[in-house]
Structure 1
Amino acid sequence: MQKTFYQKELLIKATQQRKGANNNKKDVEKIQSWLNLFAMQNPNSGAAAGIDGDFGPATEKAVFNFQKFKSLPQTGVVDQNVFDILVSPLKKAFEDPVSGSSLRELVLNTAKNHLKNHPFELVINNQSNSGPWVRSYMDGNEGTPWFWCMGFVQAIIDQAASIKGENFKTLMPLTYSCDTVGTVGIQKKILTRYQVAKTNPALIKPADIFLIQKTPNDWVHTGIVTAVHDDVIETIEGNTNADGSSNGNSVMNRIRNYKQSKIDFFSIESLVV
């Protein structure tokens, strides 16, 4: 795999605890982030706390509550073993075995595996587009300017291609820009424009990449096509929400009417063969 930053998100440098001699802000922020992500999926766990890098009484209590909810010894201390449980969704998303006999199947199943592990951004230091999921998709980058929809798409393509022994960068450069991928698609003649896609849906295939067009050379959002049905496509996409925002906060399975939208399609066929 080319995109391996997620591995750094699976580790803390030392055991973290209230008034701990080895506490460091970055590790405490990681712990607080995962406590909040856990609380989103388990709202009655009492694991939500502020993300400020300070292992104070609130964080200690959140750790106690997490440990109780998971039937772990209630110490209020986070060593690597406890952190492993906190970060297990990220590890599962990137490292669980993915089935599929073709690259397209692997792309779809990889995307579905990430989706079921609930990737979600956080607001840290008043910056949206932050947190361990965003950093994993964006190679360590985070913060309000870092829209992460293409980072998510490339992480999925990279993970799936690596299973087949392929390098996704033969298809497109490592980038976080929809414009870069759209331009490459034009240059390689593998970008189906929305006008053509509307009249010939057979050109749209599951595991291809959709690009929402603002102008002919400006694209504002992306994701992976999972199915095509008449006038609509099903997708899995990052940095979106229920309204289909290009700057939402999660990975979602969405439905988009491509015949009423300006959606171009980037084919992964050259990587498949």
Structure 2
Amino acid sequence: MQKIFYQKELLIKAPQKRKGADNNKKDVEKIQSWLSLFAMQNPSSGTATDIDGDFGPATEKAVLNFQKANGLPQNGIVDQNVFDELVSPLKNAFETNISGSNLRELILNTAQNHLENHPFELVINHQSNTGPWVRSYMDGHEGTDWFWCMGFVEAIIDQAASIQGKNFKTLMPLTYSCDTVGTTGLQKKILTRYQTARTNSALIKPGDIFLLQKTPNDWIHTGIVTAVHADTIETIEGNTNAGGSNNGNAVMNKIRNYKQSKLDFFSIESLV
């Protein structure tokens, strides 16, 4: 795999605890981030806490609640074993063995596995597009300006292609820019414009990438096509929301009407 920054998100330097001599602000922020992410999926768990890098009484109580919810010894201390439980969704997303008879199936199954582990961004220090999921997709980058939809798409294709011993960078450059991928598609003649796609749906295949066009050479959002129907496509896409925003906060399964939207399609066939 090319995109391996996620591995750094799975570790802390030392056990973290209230008034701990080895407390590290970044590690405490990681812990607080995962406590808050756990609370999103388990709203009655009592693990939501501020993400400020300070392991105070609120964080300690959130840790105790997390330990209780997961059947762990309740001591309020986060060692690597407890942290492993906190970060298990990320580890499952990137390291679960994915099966598939071809690259397209591998891409779809990889995307579905990420979706099922609930990737979600956080707001840290008043900055959106932050947190461990964003950093993992964006190779350590995060913050309001770092839209992460293409980072998500490339992470999925990289992970799937690597299972077959293929390097996704032979298909497209490592980038976080929809424009870069769109331009690459035009240069390689593997980008189907929306006008053509609307009249010939056979050109759109599961595993391909959609690019939402703003202007002919400006694309503002992307995702992976998972199914094609008469007028609609199903997708899995990052940095979106229920309204289909290009700057939302989650990975979601979406349905888009490609005959009413300016969706260009980038083919992965040459990598297959």
SS at match of 1:271: coil
1:236 match = 236
Deviation at 1:203, TM superposition (A): 0.2
Deviation at 1:26, TM superposition (A): 0.2
Structure 2 residue 116 is matched with structure 1 residue 112: no
Q: How does 1:20-99 map to 2 (within 5 A)?
A: 20-99=20-99
Identity of aligned residues (%): 83
Separation in 1, partners of 2:190, 2:158 = 18
Q: How does 1:121-270 map to 2 (within 5 A)?
A: 121-270=121-270
Separation in 1, partners of 2:261, 2:84 = 43
Separation in 1, partners of 2:26, 2:224 = 32
SS at match of 2:211: strand
Deviation at 1:92, TM superposition (A): 0.2
Separation in 1, partners of 2:72, 2:27 = 20
Separation in 1, partners of 2:244, 2:271 = 28
Q: How many residues align?
A: 272
Runs of 5+ consecutive residues of structure 1 not aligned to the other structure: none
Separation in 2, partners of 1:24, 1:73 = 22
Q: What letter matches 1:166 in structure 2?
A: K
Deviation at 1:188, TM superposition (A): 0.1
Deviation at 1:71, TM superposition (A): 1.2
* Deviation readout 1:69-89 (Å, 9 max, x if unpaired): 111110000000000000000
Cα RMSD for the two superposed structures: 0.3
Deviation at 1:216, TM superposition (A): 0.2
* Deviation readout 1:92-139 (Å, 9 max, x if unpaired): 000000010100000000000000000000000000000000000000
Separation in 2, partners of 1:123, 1:23 = 22
* Deviation readout 1:16-65 (Å, 9 max, x if unpaired): 00000000100000000000000000000000000000000000000000
Separation in 2, partners of 1:103, 1:12 = 34
Separation in 2, partners of 1:106, 1:224 = 12
TM-score norm. by structure 2 comes to 1.00
Separation in 2, partners of 1:119, 1:69 = 20
Separation in 2, partners of 1:227, 1:28 = 41
SS at match of 2:271: helix
TM-score norm. by structure 1 comes to 0.99
Q: What letter matches 1:8 in structure 2?
A: K
Q: What letter matches 1:226 in structure 2?
A: T
SS at match of 1:270: coil
Deviation at 1:189, TM superposition (A): 0.0
SS at match of 1:269: coil
SS at match of 1:259: coil
